Amino acid sequence: MSGKSVGVIGSGLGGLAAACVLAARGHRVTAFDKNGWLGGKAAVLEADGFRFDMGPTILTVPRVLERIFAEAGRDMADYLDLRRLDPQWRCFFDGGESIDLLADVDAMAGAMDRFAPGTGAGEGYRRFQKVAAGLHGVSERFFFWKPVEDLFDTIDLRANFSPATMRDVLSLRMGSSVAGTIRRHVREDRLAQMLDHFTQYVGSSPYGSPAVLCAIAHMQAADGVWYPMGGTRAVVEALVRLGRELGVTFRPGTDVAGVELRDGAVVGVRTASGDILAFDAVVSNMDAIRTYRELVGGPAARAYESKGFEPACSGVVLYLGLKQRYEHLAHHCFVFSRDPEEEFDAIYKHGRPAPDPTCYLAAPSFTEPGVAPEGGEALYVLVHAPYLRPGQDWSRMLPGYRQVILDKLKRSAGLHDIEERITFERALTPQDIHDRYKVLDGAIYGLASHGKFMGAFKPGNRSRKVPGLYLAGGAAHPGPGMPMVMMSGWIAADVLDRDASAAAGAA
Ligand SMILES: Cc1cc2nc3c(=O)[nH]c(=O)nc-3n(C[C@H](O)[C@H](O)[C@H](O)COP(=O)(O)OP(=O)(O)OC[C@H]3O[C@@H](n4cnc5c(N)ncnc54)[C@H](O)[C@@H]3O)c2cc1C
């Protein structure tokens, strides 16, 4: 029998995915979370007849989720009702123009030509999508569905040296940034700014991120944007249900204070209340750097501190219950900043909130009217902000920045009377994100993907330093965002399971 007892630290989407896959493969799983709810950042806020997803709202690449259900021989459709959204985003620019991002590449190219006649934007977009499709293909072959820490894990040049491999390595366009790649094909400023925003899914600057991240544009065009009825919270509920059916024990309200080691290998966990629980292996869904720093310590922690990983961006979210919805919005909208360089430099270089930020809006009542009292809207407004810097006190900064955000929505998205429509309001600041989810300096999306050569690499899913420790979540390979963290959970579970089978075979 290779069935192991496994502790999962953290029940974010990555932790839940790992727990379900491990249980489906016959392991005995206990999943802990310090919070009283399961699902981590995919939390829900319900008040005064409004329901808000508190964290993620845009679901892409649902086949990752499908694969987790398939592990247990289940059909995802029995657990989740997913609706495809097209237009995917409605985009508002500073000058008052707007365009819808459409899934179909030819239809989008046509819309771009009408939006910016004579600029060649449509043909450029077709070329850009071809490049993105190539990068997506390389990502599927070398990055996805396997534990990766660095280039040597992806491409074994000695074993694999072939013209096809070399073509793949070259096509990664190492040394080029996302912003540079976009502008080689789509030069029109506003449309390039729209395409830049795919890297906001990983909380990184398009000017500093490697070109391979352009793959996200193809994943979204090909696989679509989806809304789970019930909100993204429904994804958490579906995974928790699956986990329970497979025998996972969930322990919300249990903070894990340490990973217990014997001769350098994992033998269990220690909770904050001092209980020591024995496990054969542990999957940590806590931030990877903080896992090594706070739960493991010693040389492993020092090794990861010295690698110079940087947190991804943080964010400010306003949850606005409106008595009357805005009919000119779509389910997902972006209200772009006046100047992307000014915005990204402020957030990523200078560590300051952008003076004129891009606002992302979710107006889910267009798909699910029950999120608000009749005719109203549960409007979610997310603005990316720098990860927490010393001296930044968001309890003092929030009131002023809230006004900057509302003024931007009035000016650029036509929400002129938004203040009169608000009947309920809550906010989430970088400090709240830091405290609620035990992340690195308030980061929403784990570690930044900055570095035109190695920016896509994150701490690997099988610890090279600590036998028996596996990592899943936004700060581990392959990175943040709902589909990637769930893939991260699948990979951590798969490699743990393969290690267990190999050990059983050797015994
Ligand atoms: C405001 C916001 C908007 C976002 N929008 C999108 C979006 O539209 N689309 C998208 O795909 N992604 C989005 N994301 C990102 C996405 O939510 C995350 O990448 C993903 O949910 C993170 O999952 P995770 O597995 O890394 O775990 P997390 O959600 O970070 O959860 C980790 C859990 O571990 C717990 N934990 C940590 N340490 C311990 C410990 N020592 N003991 C016990 N428990 C512990 C924490 O309490 C937490 O519950 C957004 C995130 C935020 C915050």
Q: Are 192 and 207 in contact (CB under 8 A)?
A: no
* Residue 428 CA to ligand 1 centre (angstroms): 14
* Residue 35 CA to ligand 1 centre (angstroms): 12
Q: Atom 41 of ligand 1 has which residue's CA nearest to it?
A: 256
**Confidence band of 500 (pLDDT split at 50, 70, 90):** very high
* Residue 481 CA to ligand 1 centre (angstroms): 9
Q: Using a 6 Å cutoff on CB, does residue 486 contact ligand 1?
A: no
Q: State the pLDDT at residue 170.
A: 60
The CA distance from 63 to 223, in Å, is: 8
Q: State the pLDDT at residue 172.
A: 64
* Residue 429 CA to ligand 1 centre (angstroms): 15
* % the chain with pLDDT above 90: 87
User: What mean pLDDT comes out for the span 387-406?
Assistant: 97
The CA distance from 362 to 367, in Å, is: 11
CATH class label, 5-46+57-83+231-309+454-506: alpha beta
**Is the pLDDT assigned to residue 167 strictly greater than 80?**
no
DSSP label of 214: G
Burial class (CB in 10 A: 0-12, 13-18, 19+), 12: buried
Q: Using a 6 Å cutoff on CB, does residue 231 contact ligand 1?
A: no
**Confidence band of 218 (pLDDT split at 50, 70, 90):** very high
The CA distance from 497 to 495, in Å, is: 5
Q: Which of 21, 30, 41, 484 to mutate to test the pocket of ligand 1 (most atoms within 8 A of CB)?
A: 41
**Is the pLDDT assigned to residue 29 strictly greater than 60?**
yes
Q: Which of 11, 250, 285 to mutate to test the pocket of ligand 1 (most atoms within 8 A of CB)?
A: 285
Q: Using a 6 Å cutoff on CB, does residue 203 contact ligand 1?
A: no
Q: What is the pLDDT of residues 344-372, one digit of tens each?
A: 999 999 999 999 999 999 999 999 999 99
Task: Give the number of the atom of ligand 1 that is nearest the alpha carbon of residue 475.
Answer: 26
User: What mean pLDDT comes out for the span 455-479?
Assistant: 94
Strand order in the sheet with 281-284: 249-252, 28-33, 5-9, 281-284, 469-471
* Residue 314 CA to ligand 1 centre (angstroms): 12
**Confidence band of 200 (pLDDT split at 50, 70, 90):** confident
Q: State the pLDDT at residue 153.
A: 74
Q: State the pLDDT at residue 449.
A: 87
Q: Atom 27 of ligand 1 has which residue's CA nearest to it?
A: 12
**Is the pLDDT assigned to residue 168 strictly greater than 70?**
no
Q: Atom 49 of ligand 1 has which residue's CA nearest to it?
A: 40
Q: State the pLDDT at residue 348.
A: 94
Of the candidates 306, 303, 299, 305, the one whose C-alpha atom is nearest the C-alpha of residue 261 is 299
* Residue 265 CA to ligand 1 centre (angstroms): 27
**Confidence band of 160 (pLDDT split at 50, 70, 90):** low
Q: What is the pLDDT of residues 73-125, one digit of tens each?
A: 999 999 999 999 999 999 999 999 999 999 999 999 999 999 999 999 999 99
Q: Give the DSSP H or E segment for 410.
A: helix 394-413
Task: Give the number of the atom of ligand 1 that is nearest the alpha carbon of residue 58.
Answer: 8
What value does the mean pLDDT of the chain take? 94
* Residue 60 CA to ligand 1 centre (angstroms): 16
**Is the pLDDT assigned to residue 173 strictly greater than 70?**
no
**Is the pLDDT assigned to residue 253 strictly greater than 70?**
yes
Q: State the pLDDT at residue 163.
A: 61
Domain boundaries, the chain: 5-46+57-83+231-309+454-506, 105-221
Q: State the pLDDT at residue 156.
A: 59
Q: State the pLDDT at residue 159.
A: 55
